[in-house]
Amino acid sequence: MTAVTGFYAAYSTLILFSGVAALLALSIYVTLMAGQLSLGNAALAAIGGYTAAILTKTYHTALWPALFAGAALATAVAVLIGIPCLRLRGIYLAIATLAFGEVVRVAALNLPITGGALGLVGIAPLVSFRHVYGTLAVAAVFFYRLERSRTGRALAAIREDEAAAQAMGIRITAYKVLAFAIAGWLAGLAGGLAVHFTYLINPAQASFGEAVTILTYAVFGGTGTFAGPIFGAVTLTVLPEALRFLKEYRLLLDGAILVLVTTYLPNGVLHPVLGGRVAAAARRLARGRGSPQREMRRA
Amino acid sequence: MLETAGLSRTFGGLRAVDGVSFAVREGEIMGLIGPNGAGKTTLFNLITGFLQPTAGRVRFRGEDITRWSPDRVTARGMARTFQNIRLFRGMAALDNVVVGGHVQTGATLFDAVLGTPRHRREEREIRARAVELLALVGLADRAAVPARSLAYGDQRRVEIARALATGPRLLLLDEPAAGMNTAETQALMGLIRRLRDDHGLTVLLIEHDMKLVMGLCDRIVVLNFGRTIAEGAPDQVRRDPQVIEAYLGAHTARPREARPGTSGPPVLAVDRVTAGYAAGDVLHDVSLDVGAGQIVTLIGANGAGKTTLLRTISGLVRPRRGTIRLRGTPAGGMSPDRVVGLGVAHVPEGRQVLARMTVLDNLRAGAYARRDADAVGWRGGAIAQDADALLARFPELRARRRQVAGTLSGGEQQMLAIARGLMARPTLLMLDEPSLGLAPRIVERIFGIVREVNADGISILLVEQNAQLALETADRGYVLETGRIVRQDRADRLLGDEAVRRAYLG
């Protein structure tokens, strides 16, 4: 056994979790691109997860059709939820989408087909590295292109100023619904992938806590470019494991890191502005003098 | 090209735009002017679909576009800029203009993801077009600068370039010269002329800079209280008595007899103050005194810097140079709460009452900074007594003292804002545009209150668009033009002064 395969054997679950977390972070990122704070992603992932699990477990469907079916259902639900919710803004949209998450959780808790509080167990182990990271790679290429496209610009314009975006002829409702649909697809896919290497799913996966965790991936990594949420998701998934030696103080440090990042790096760890500042600071150092006035003006 | 018929819009009881009918002909530059609150921006919003009219129609290029959404209106060939610049602040100047190319392109998300030739060709074209447009407005060298870091005048020009990128036939500009200096305004006039002459655009613009409006426009429409009061060539409009009255105010009160000058140190002494915002200085070397018991008025056109001066005195803007003394105490750069503690009450433009609180709670909030010994007591201290006394003076408010302030009429809100200012027991009351958007009868009442308050010994600094009325009320007046005091004298001598008329109408 080589070192690489040995490492993978020891940490495979963690590695797969990181990939799924990255997909979930991208799913919240796409709505944030349009300036919409939607917190329904955990519930959408649960919809995708339950659907795919039921299909492979009960109906012995092949993996990809099951995953796509789950993603499609999550997309449909996201659009249905999205259209009325788009009348809401900011914190009200966040509350409404959180409430949607609760509805999904309670439904999963009470429906016979989802297995109640215990959820579904014994799901076939169908997903491995290539499924998760293949999907993530496709998603990354998609976002790379999206950010450099007419559609990406329209989303960014909506985020910056909706009225001005409309004055540019951008149909803001259509683009917001599109963002919700992409978010639903990604979350549904992530949920379907996850259940096939954790082998179980239960209503807790649609909970408030999960929704907030996904948000922290994006906030931590930064929402200036798609690489930020991916970085945040991987870091925040791996970090708790790396900090296991801290035992009961681990959560404390987790929290402290988040507080520090949001306070001192409000744009997240990976952000073009920060990159620019680091470069500017380096240039100043190279010239051997600071320029406080310039900093003032920028602020 | 553009035609409105009986266009109206009411907000609650206020008729912001009231049956406006006018037409813009192809290839002309048309000006839309009128005093503050006349309904000009509301009219723009009705035409561009940002607001739905309560009555009336809009026709554009032969099509009825009433109740169209703003994006459809833009796609049909009408582009606009915004009064309070609405750039995509985080994006570079060039990217702002590229976004403007949205309706000129049609590549879908799939085109982009698959990198089809259509996507690549369109990207190339709109970038090239955006570079051209930035060069046209003279900002080629600022392309990579984030919009928020640009100087104010540059931001206005990026907005114009962005509007042009949508490929309009008709361009609506909302105060394009606001915040620009004289040279920039000159360049802007040249640009607008070129857009018409070389690019075949029709232009409708709102502007307060009368030099620009009179020098540039082929025809002008004048709005007051939501109605058109005049329409025609610049020279004709400038001489129209109704227009002059709308801008300078009519003779309503009898001029007060001059009062003897006051002795002792002035309540307020502003000495050679220069101040402004991040984008640049608004005030230059402004000096102004308010003597004890006097009413002093500060008049001048929109954007002259009147509000900024009040904000500087209040401590909301820090002076860059110069001193401000309140009854001898240096107060320049002091925090707003400490300025209030020195006896200054500021009644801001647009009233800014605490809309969700009751009238009574608004009054109580006005006394927040008071530290007098008997201010509060078991059965109502001095604050409660003052509130009672003010409610007795303002019977309109007394009847509504438990009503939420946001539901009051404009005039009632203005009274409440003044009463709230008085709750702090000020020695100096600063009023910013108290007559803004109010009907003449209400204005009369408000100015009566101002005189009453002054009779109680409170000095008053009054900023007012209605120069006629302000000068009839005040002891002394200062005329502010583009951040500089250009004239100061006894108020009765300024009445009918040519400099005053010029400051407003160019």
Query: Domain for residue A85, yes or no?
Result: yes
Query: Domain for residue B181, yes or no?
Result: no
Please choose, from the candidates B218, B222, B214, the residue with its C-alpha nearest in 3D space to the C-alpha of residue B185. B214
Instruction: Report CA torsion sign: B327, B333, B338, B340.
Output: positive
CB contact under 8 Å between B87 and A156, yes or no, is no
Q: What is the pLDDT of residue B385?
A: 84
Q: What is the pLDDT of residue B360?
A: 87
Please choose, from the candidates A295, A271, A223, the residue with its C-alpha nearest in 3D space to the C-alpha of residue B149. A295
Q: Give the pLDDT band (50/70/90) at residue A292.
A: very low
List chain A residues with CB under 8 Å of B123. 148, 150
Reply yes or no on whether the pLDDT at A171 is more than 80.
yes
Which among B48, B90, B102 has the least Cβ separation from residue A154? B102
User: How far is A185 from A143, CA to CA, in rounded Å?
Assistant: 13
Task: Kindly state whether A164 is in contact with chain B, defined as any CB-CB distance less than 8 angstroms.
Answer: yes
CB contact under 8 Å between B166 and A146, yes or no, is no
- Selected residue of B41, B109, B172 to mutate for chain A interface (largest A Cβ count, 10 A): B109
Query: Domain for residue B360, yes or no?
Result: yes
Reply yes or no on whether the pLDDT at B214 is more than 50.
yes
Is A109 exposed, middle or buried (CB count within 10 Å of its CB: 0-12, 13-18, 19+)?
middle
Q: Give the pLDDT band (50/70/90) at residue B30.
A: very high
Residues making up chain B, counted from first to last: 506
Q: Are residues B409 and B475 in the same domain?
A: yes
List chain A residues with CB under 8 Å of B162. 168
Q: Are residues A232 and A287 in the same domain?
A: no
pTM reported for the whole predicted model? 0.77
Q: Are residues B306 and B233 in the same domain?
A: no
Q: Stretch B458-480: mean pLDDT, rounded?
A: 88
Contact A180, A82 (CB under 8 A): yes
Q: pLDDT for B135-190, tens place per residue? A: 999 999 999 999 988 888 889 999 999 999 999 999 999 989 877 777 888 899 99
What one-character DSSP code corresponds to residue B255?
Answer: P
Contact A151, B112 (CB under 8 A): yes
Q: Are residues A229 and A285 in the same domain?
A: no
Q: Are residues A291 and A204 in the same domain?
A: no
Please choose, from the candidates B277, B32, B67, B251, the residue with its C-alpha nearest in 3D space to the C-alpha of residue B152. B277
Residue after which a domain boundary falls, among B111, B144, B167: B167
Q: Stretch B54-60: mean pLDDT, rounded?
A: 94
Q: What is the pLDDT of residue B172?
A: 96
Query: Domain for residue A129, yes or no?
Result: yes
Q: What is the pLDDT of residue A290?
A: 40
Q: What is the pLDDT of residue A287?
A: 61
CA distance A158 to chain B (A): 9
User: How far is B30 from B35, CA to CA, in rounded Å?
Assistant: 17
Q: What is the pLDDT of residue A146?
A: 94
User: How far is A174 from A157, CA to CA, in rounded Å?
Assistant: 13
Reply yes or no on whether the pLDDT at B498 is more than 70.
yes
Q: Are residues B110 and B8 in the same domain?
A: no
CB contact under 8 Å between A163 and B86, yes or no, is yes
Q: What are phi and psi of B485, to 5 degrees?
A: -75, 115
Q: Stretch B38-56: mean pLDDT, rounded?
A: 92
User: How far is B30 from B334, CA to CA, in rounded Å?
Assistant: 45
CB contact under 8 Å between A161 and B86, yes or no, is yes
Reply yes or no on whether the pLDDT at B258 is more than 80.
no
Q: Are residues A285 and A205 in the same domain?
A: no
Q: pLDDT for B287-300, tens place per residue? A: 999 988 889 999 88
Task: Kindly state whether A48 is in contact with chain B, defined as any CB-CB distance less than 8 angstroms.
Answer: no
Q: pLDDT for B320-337, tens place per residue? A: 989 999 888 888 888 888
Q: Stretch B247-257: mean pLDDT, rounded?
A: 60
Total domain count, chain B: 3
Query: Domain for residue B223, yes or no?
Result: yes
List chain A residues with CB under 8 Å of B158. none
Query: Domain for residue B182, yes or no?
Result: no
Q: What is the pLDDT of residue B196?
A: 94
Q: Are residues A288 and A193 in the same domain?
A: no
Where is pLDDT greater, at A252 or B66? B66
Q: pLDDT for A184-200, tens place per residue? A: 999 999 999 999 999 99
Reply yes or no on whether the pLDDT at A286 is more than 80.
no
Closest residue in B to A169 (Cα) is B71
Contact A176, A34 (CB under 8 A): yes
Residues 137-156 of A with CB under 8 A from B: 141-142, 145-146, 148-154, 156
Query: Domain for residue A1, yes or no?
Result: no
CB contact under 8 Å between B113 and A161, yes or no, is no
Q: Stretch A224-252: mean pLDDT, rounded?
A: 84
Q: What is the pLDDT of residue B256?
A: 57
Contact B14, B410 (CB under 8 A): yes
Please choose, from the candidates A77, A152, A145, the residue with its C-alpha nearest in 3D space to the C-alpha of residue A107. A77
List chain A residues with CB under 8 Å of B71. 166, 168-172
List chain A residues with CB under 8 Å of B82. 163-164, 167
Q: Are residues B217 and B231 in the same domain?
A: yes
Across the A:B interface, residue pairs with CB atoms under 8 Å apart total 99
Give the CATH number for residue B149.
Answer: 3.40.50.300
Q: What is the pLDDT of residue A297?
A: 43
Q: Are residues B69 and B96 in the same domain?
A: no
Q: Are residues B499 and B444 in the same domain?
A: yes
Q: Are residues B238 and B291 in the same domain?
A: no
CB contact under 8 Å between B91 and A156, yes or no, is yes
Q: Stretch A223-248: mean pLDDT, rounded?
A: 86
User: How far is B81 from B501, CA to CA, in rounded Å?
Assistant: 29
Q: Stretch B41-55: mean pLDDT, rounded?
A: 93
Query: Domain for residue A2, yes or no?
Result: no
Q: Are residues B65 and B96 in the same domain?
A: no
Q: pLDDT for B360-409, tens place per residue? A: 888 888 887 777 666 666 556 788 888 888 888 888 888 888 888 877 77
* B482 Cβ contact partners less than 8 Å away, ≥ 6 residues apart: B181, B182, B303, B304, B305
Kindly report the average pLDDT of chain B as a whole number. 87
CA distance B156 to chain A (A): 13
Reply yes or no on whether the pLDDT at A150 is more than 50.
yes
Number of neighbours of residue B302 by Cβ within 10 angstroms:
16
Which among A157, A178, A298 has the least Cβ separation from residue B149? A298
SS3 at position B11 = strand
Q: Are residues A112 and A201 in the same domain?
A: yes
Which among B74, B107, B109 has the least Cβ separation from residue A168? B74
Q: pLDDT for A78-134, tens place per residue? A: 999 888 887 887 788 989 999 999 999 999 999 989 888 888 998 989 999 999 999
Query: Domain for residue A249, yes or no?
Result: yes
Give the CATH number for residue A203.
Answer: 1.10.3470
Reply yes or no on whether the pLDDT at A183 is more than 90.
yes
Reply yes or no on whether the pLDDT at A298 is more than 50.
no
List chain A residues with CB under 8 Å of B72. 169
Query: Domain for residue B263, yes or no?
Result: no
Please choose, from the candidates B276, B279, B286, the residue with its C-alpha nearest in 3D space to the C-alpha of residue B320. B276
CA distance B501 to chain A (A): 36
CB contact under 8 Å between A151 and B122, yes or no, is no
The residues pairing with B173 across neighbouring beta strands, listed in sequence order, are B205
Reply yes or no on whether the pLDDT at A1 is more than 60.
no
Total domain count, chain A: 2
CB contact under 8 Å between A171 and B50, yes or no, is no
* Residue range of the domain that includes B139: 81-167
Q: Are residues B353 and B311 in the same domain?
A: yes
Task: Kindly state whether A293 is in contact with chain B, defined as any CB-CB distance less than 8 angstroms.
Answer: no
Q: What is the pLDDT of residue A274?
A: 57
Which among A146, A160, A178 has the least Cβ separation from residue B88? A160
Please choose, from the candidates B186, B190, B215, B216, the residue with its C-alpha nearest in 3D space to the C-alpha of residue B204. B216
Distances (CA, A) of B444 to A281, B17, B252, B262, B447: 60, 23, 8, 27, 5
Reply yes or no on whether the pLDDT at A38 is more than 50.
yes
Which among B71, B75, B112 has the least Cβ separation from residue A150? B112
Q: Are residues B73 and B102 in the same domain?
A: no
Q: Are residues A156 and A288 in the same domain?
A: no
List chain A residues with CB under 8 Å of B91. 156-157, 160
* B311 Cβ contact partners less than 8 Å away, ≥ 6 residues apart: B317
* Percent of all residues in chain A with a pLDDT value above 90, rounded to a whole number: 56
* Residue range of the domain that includes A281: 271-299
Q: Are residues B302 and B402 in the same domain?
A: yes
Query: Domain for residue B156, yes or no?
Result: yes
CB contact under 8 Å between A157 and B99, yes or no, is yes
CA distance A219 to chain B (A): 17
Reply yes or no on whether the pLDDT at A177 is more than 90.
yes
Q: What is the pLDDT of residue B465?
A: 77
Q: What is the pLDDT of residue A45?
A: 96
List chain B residues with CB under 8 Å of A149. 107, 109, 111-113, 119
Q: Are residues A144 and A288 in the same domain?
A: no
**Could you tell me the two tokens for A131?**
């499924």
Q: Give the pLDDT band (50/70/90) at residue A293.
A: very low
Q: What is the pLDDT of residue B374?
A: 65
CB contact under 8 Å between A163 and B50, yes or no, is yes
Q: What is the pLDDT of residue B384?
A: 83
Q: Which of A270-274, B216-220, B237-241 has the lowest mean pLDDT?
A: A270-274
List chain B residues with CB under 8 Å of A172. 71
Q: What are phi and psi of B287, to 5 degrees?
A: -125, 140
Q: What is the pLDDT of residue B377?
A: 60
Q: What is the pLDDT of residue B253?
A: 52
Q: pLDDT for A210-223, tens place per residue? A: 888 898 889 888 88
Q: Are residues A49 and A175 in the same domain?
A: yes
Q: Stretch A231-239: mean pLDDT, rounded?
A: 90
Q: Are residues B230 and B304 in the same domain?
A: no
Query: Domain for residue A161, yes or no?
Result: yes
Query: Domain for residue B121, yes or no?
Result: yes
Q: Give the pLDDT band (50/70/90) at residue B505.
A: low
Task: Kindly state whether A32 is in contact with chain B, defined as any CB-CB distance less than 8 angstroms.
Answer: no
Distances (CA, A) of B476 to A247, B114, B258, B294: 75, 71, 9, 8
CB contact under 8 Å between B100 and A163, yes or no, is no
Identity of the residue numbered A61: T
Q: Stretch A237-254: mean pLDDT, rounded?
A: 78
Q: Are residues A190 and A216 in the same domain?
A: yes
Residue whose tokens read 């308010």: B290
Q: pLDDT for B402-443, tens place per residue? A: 888 877 777 888 889 999 989 888 999 999 988 876 777 788
CB contact under 8 Å between A153 and B109, yes or no, is no
CB contact under 8 Å between A297 and B149, yes or no, is yes
List chain B residues with CB under 8 Å of A169. 71-72, 74-75, 102-103, 166
Query: Domain for residue B195, yes or no?
Result: no
CA distance A160 to chain B (A): 5
List chain A residues with CB under 8 Å of B103. 168-169
Out of A236-250, A280-294, B343-357, give the one with best mean pLDDT. B343-357
Residue B431 parent element (H or E): strand B428-432
